[in-house]
Amino acid sequence: MRQLKAFVKKEFLDQYRSGKLFILGAIFLFFGILSPATAKLIPKMLEMVADHDTGFTIDTTREVTAIDSFDQFFKNMSMALIVFVIMQAGIFSKEYSSGTLMLSLTKGMSRGRVIAAKTITLFLTWTACYALCFGVCYGYTAYFWDVSAAKDVFLAALIYWLYGMSYLAMLVFFSTLVKSNTGVIGCIAAVYLVQTIILSLIPKVKEVIPTYLSGIGNLTHGKDVAFAVPLTVTLILSAAMIVSSVPIFNKKQI
C-alpha cells in the first residue's frame, strides 16, 4: 500500500510539473463558464440576426431557462472529455520512451500497482476537473435562472461522469496494448466511431451501447431516458478493461 501511495503521489507530481493540472483546470473552468454564458448570449445574438433582413425566420420570443444552460454543459463536456483524453494519452507512453517505468519496476514496484496508480490518478484528475466544471456551471445557472426548471440535473451529471470514466478505462487498456499516445488515441477514436456507426445502422440496440449515455442531458428536460442498461454495460466493460489490462501489462516487453 505504501508503494501504491508513493507512486500515485509521483504521478500527481508529474502532472503538476508538466503543467497538465493547470491546463486542464483552466479548460474545464472555461467550459463551466461557457455553458451558462452561451445560453445567456444566444438569444441576444438571435435578436441581432433577426434585426437584419436575412430571410430566416427566428423565434426570439422563447424564454431561456436553466435547461438551456445544462444542455450547453453536456454538449461542451463532449469536447472537454476529448481534450482530457488527448492530454492524458501519454500517461504510459511517456514512460515507455523515457525508461522511467523500468526504474520503478526494478525497485520492486509490481506492474499491477503501476496500473492501479495510473488508473487512480486518471480517475481523481477527471473527477476534480469534472466537479470544477459542473460546480461553476451550476453556480452561474442558479444565479441567472431558476434551476428547479431542470429535472434530475445531479443524476444526469453523475451518469455523464461515469460515462467519462469509461474512456479513461479504455485509455488504460489501450496503453497496455500499444506504446504510442497516437496509437491510444486512435484506438479510442475507433471504438467511438464503431459505436456511432452501430447506433445509426441498428437503432434497436441504441439503449445498450455506452455511447447512448452521451445524450443523458435529455434527463434535465424531464424526458424518460432508459439509462440503466447502457450504464450497467458501461460499468461492466470499464471494470473488465481495467482488470484485463493487468495480465496484458505483465506480459508486455518494456
Question: What is the per-residue DSSP string for 84-149?
Answer: HHHHHTTTTHHHHHH-HHHHHHHTT--HHHHHHHHHHHHHHHHHHHHHHHHHHHHHHHHHHS-GGG
C-alpha cell at 88: 492524458
At 224-233, the pLDDT tens digits run 788 899 999 9
Give the pLDDT confidence of 195-223 residue by residue, as tens digits: 888 877 887 777 788 888 888 888 898 88
Entry pTM: 0.89
**171-190, pLDDT tens digit by residue?**
999 999 988 889 999 999 99
Model confidence at 99, pLDDT cuts 50, 70, 90, reads low
Query: Number of H helices and number of E strands within the chain?
Result: 9, 0
Query: What is the per-residue pLDDT for 57?
Result: 54
Question: Average pLDDT, whole number, for the chain?
Answer: 86
Q: Cα–Cα distance between 89 and 21 in angstroms, integer?
A: 14
When pLDDT is averaged across residues 127-131 and rounded to a whole number, the result is 97
What's the pLDDT tens digit per position in 23-66? 999 999 999 999 999 888 876 666 665 555 555 555 555 688 89
Q: Where are the domains of the chain?
A: 2-251
Q: Which three cell numbers stand for residue 154?
A: 445531479
CA atoms within 13 A on the CB side of 68: 15
Rounded to whole angstroms, the Cα distance separating 149 from 160 reads: 20
Q: Give the per-residue SS3 of 229-245.
A: HHHHHHHHHHHHHHHHH
Length of the chain: 254
